[in-house]
Amino acid sequence: MTTIAVVSAGLSEPSSTRLLADRLGAATVDALSTTGDPVELRNVDLRPLAHEITDAMLTRFAAPALTTAMATVVEADAVVFVTPVFTAGMSGLAKSFLDVLDKDALADMPVLLGATGGTARHSLALEHGIRPVFAYLRAAVVPTGVFAATDDWGSDDAGTLDARIRRAGTDLAWMMRASRRQPQQADALPEVVDFASLLGGMQRQQ
pLDDT at 119 (0 to 100):
83
Q: Name the packing angle between helices 92-100 and 50-59 (round to 10°).
A: 50
What was the pLDDT predicted at 80? 98
Query: Which residues does the chain have with pLDDT short of 70?
Result: 155-158, 182-206
Residue 66: partners with Cβ closer than 8 Å, 6 or more residues away: 49, 52, 53, 56, 100
Q: What's the pLDDT score for residue 187?
A: 46
pLDDT at 186: 44
* pTM for this model (two decimals): 0.86
pLDDT reported for residue 125: 92
Cβ atoms of residues 112 and 80 within 8 Å: yes
106-109's contacts with Cβ under 8 Å and 24+ in sequence apart are 106/73, 106/79, 106/134, 106/137, 106/138, 106/139, 107/137, 107/138, 107/139, 107/181, 108/138, 108/139, 108/140, 108/179, 108/180, 108/181, 108/182, 109/76, 109/78, 109/79, 109/139, 109/140, 109/181
Question: Would you call 94 exposed, middle or buried from its count of C-beta atoms within 10 A (0-12, 13-18, 19+)?
Answer: buried
